[in-house]
Amino acid sequence: MATFIVLLGPPGVGKGTQAKILSEKTKLAHVSSGDLFRENLKKQTELGKLAKSFMDKGELVPDDVTISMIRDRITRPDCEAGAILDGFPRTPAQADALEKMLTEFKSEVSKVPYITAAEEILVERTSGRWTCPQGHTYHAKFNPPKQAGVCDVDASELYQRDDDQVETVTKRIRVYLEQTMPLVEHYRKAGKLVEVHGDQPVEQVTKDLLAALDM
Ligand code: AP5
Ligand code: MG
């Protein structure tokens, strides 16, 4: 059966950072809903423009478009063995849709690592973040690239996300608490939740994740 791992956690806790590392180690595809929206925006697709209008306000993109984007993505061949889902699902309706999709593929969510950290850490991490168009992330203080403004992995030019301003981050955290937190209880009840402390060095968080996932 394919392995689908859902990374849960608030904005800036390190989901993208860890998903990239886990994807390299496990060879499972990294599927980030936020990265997919940003790719669409770069290509100026209708989906990208629609998503931006919500992302800039720190709100969630509507479930129907988000679900169909993820369905398209996880039916690609590189997800045959499964995927690390980063940022999806984020609402109970998305979690239900994911469950139905995976049942169709004769699969299910394997485990749900829930990465946690205090709000002031989330704000510090997002405000110093530099992102590469391919989704690699850096931090001015905690994880600087070798050369300022340039991605170590693919030499792309790094940028700061529009939604990383403090007011937008604060809104994103509020939206997370209201709309995504119910999924913590949902997956805990299903016996799939494993808690991991995000307030540790990147390498330690990776070790804890691999241990929690038995990988
Ligand atoms: P999305 O892009 O998913 O943003 P997010 O969930 O808010 O999470 P972030 O990407 O901000 O943080 P992260 O946890 O990936 O942290 P990272 O590893 O980068 O979503 C953006 C928007 O898209 C949403 O607001 C919404 O509008 C829309 N959207 C996306 N998915 C959706 C969905 N399913 N439904 C509806 N709408 C959706 O790390 C952060 C920083 O900290 C980096 O600088 C990094 O270098 C640093 N760092 C990481 N780990 C550590 C560590 N251990 N120690 C020190 N620094 C660290
Ligand atoms: Mg991310």
Task: State the 10-residue block means of pLDDT for the chain, 215 residues long.
Answer: 96 96 96 96 96 97 98 96 98 98 95 97 96 92 95 95 94 98 98 98 97 93
Cβ 114 vs Cβ 184: under 8 Å: yes
| CA-angle at 27, arms to 159 and 23, nearest 5° | 35
Active-site residues: which are they? 15, 90, 129, 161, 172
Q: Is 75 helix (H, G, I), strand (E, B) or coil?
A: coil
Q: What CA–CA distance (Å, rounded) separates 38 from 212?
A: 30
Is 31 within 8 Å of 85 (Cβ atoms)?
yes
Could you tell me if the CB of 22 is within 6 A of ligand 1? no
Residue nearest to atom 5 of ligand 1 (CA): 11
Third-level CATH fold of 3-117+180-212: Rossmann fold (3.40.50)
Give the pTM: 0.96
Q: Which residues are registered as beta bridge partners of 196?
A: 115
Ligand 1 center to 80 CA (angstroms): 25
Evaluate: CB of 139 within 6 angstroms of ligand 1. yes
The pLDDT of residue 175:
98
pLDDT at residue 42, as a whole number: 92
pLDDT in the model for residue 121: 97
Which ligand approaches the C-alpha of residue 116 most closely? Answer: 1
Q: Is the CB of 172 under 6 A from ligand 1?
A: yes
What pLDDT was estimated at residue 157? 96
The residue type at 92: P
Q: What is the model's pLDDT at position 8?
A: 98
Backbone angles phi, psi at 82, to 5 degrees: 125, -170
What is the sign of the dihedral through the CA atoms of 210, 103, 97 and 72? positive
Q: For residue 122, how far is its CA from the centre of ligand 2 (angstroms)?
A: 12
Where do the structural domains in the chain lie, given as residue ranges?
A: 3-117+180-212
Tokens of 168: 């937008």
Ligand 1 probe mutation, 21, 65, 139, most atoms within 8 A of CB: 139
Is 160 a pocket residue for ligand 1 (Cβ < 6 Å)? no
